């Protein structure tokens, strides 16, 4: 009798496996990816609202170039990459701004709300990249927002 039970359960395994694929909610909902993304998002929020405890590196532009092992051509190429990427981010922000206005005109408020978040993200990325470009252009690290604003408005600080 016990041998027949083994045979019966072994015969049922392919059938059970076949039907399990139809009711595998964990796979349907991509549970693993959702949980990984949730952990990622909470980690980002924790880092965003926590104080940095590490020591801030204070160095000059020349020291940073030496530390990174860049020659003059590589530094210029990196500076240009910062400028081009800031322009790409700004172009995306402008495109999203146009879509935001379109969404408001057609009263698609949910789309407008999500689009405003994308505009903020793209604008911040454009600012970050252009800020790094400005520091490399001036060959001075540790600049602040007012120096960047003066650089944009072409005033000397």
pLDDT at 156: 60
Of the two residues 134 and 37, the one the predictor is more confident about is: 134
Radius of gyration of the chain (CA): 27
Calculate mean pLDDT across residues 48-58: 74
Residue 89 near residue 126, CB atoms below 8 Å: yes
pLDDT at 146 over 80: yes
CA-based nearest residue to 124, from 85, 151, 150, 81: 85
N- to C-terminal Cα separation, the chain? 92
**Residue 139 Ramachandran class (φ > 0 left, ψ -120 to 50 alpha, else beta):** left
Cα(135)–Cα(60) distance, rounded to whole angstroms? 11
Residue 131 near residue 144, CB atoms below 8 Å: no
Q: In the block, which residue shows the tokens 């790094």? A: 132
Most confident of 5-14, 18-27, 121-130: 121-130
Split at pLDDT 50, 70, 90, the class of 132 is: very high
Residue 122 near residue 91, CB atoms below 8 Å: no
pLDDT mean across residues, the chain:
84
Q: pLDDT tens across 62-120, in order?
A: 888 888 888 889 989 999 999 999 999 999 999 999 999 999 999 999 999 999 999 99
Instruction: Tell me the percentage of the chain whose pLDDT exceeds 70.
Output: 83
């Amino acid at each position: 009798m016990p041998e027949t039970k083994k045979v019966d359960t072994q015969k049922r395994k392919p059938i059970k496996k076949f039907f399990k694929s139809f009711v595998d909610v964990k796979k349907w909902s991509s549970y693993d990816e959702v949980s990984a993304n949730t952990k990622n998002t909470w980690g980002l929020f924790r880092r965003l609202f926590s104080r940095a405890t590490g020591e801030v590196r204070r160095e000059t532009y020349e020291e940073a170039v030496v530390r990174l092992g860049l020659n003059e051509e590589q530094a210029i190429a990196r500076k240009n990459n910062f400028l081009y990427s800031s322009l790409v981010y700004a172009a995306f922000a402008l495109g999203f701004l146009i879509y935001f206005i379109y969404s408001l005109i057609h009263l698609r408020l949910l789309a407008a709300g999500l689009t405003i978040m994308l505009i903020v993200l793209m604008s911040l990325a454009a600012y970050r990249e252009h800020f790094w470009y400005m520091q490399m252009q001036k060959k001075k690290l540790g600049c602040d927002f007012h120096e960047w604003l003066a650089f944009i408005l072409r005033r000397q600080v």
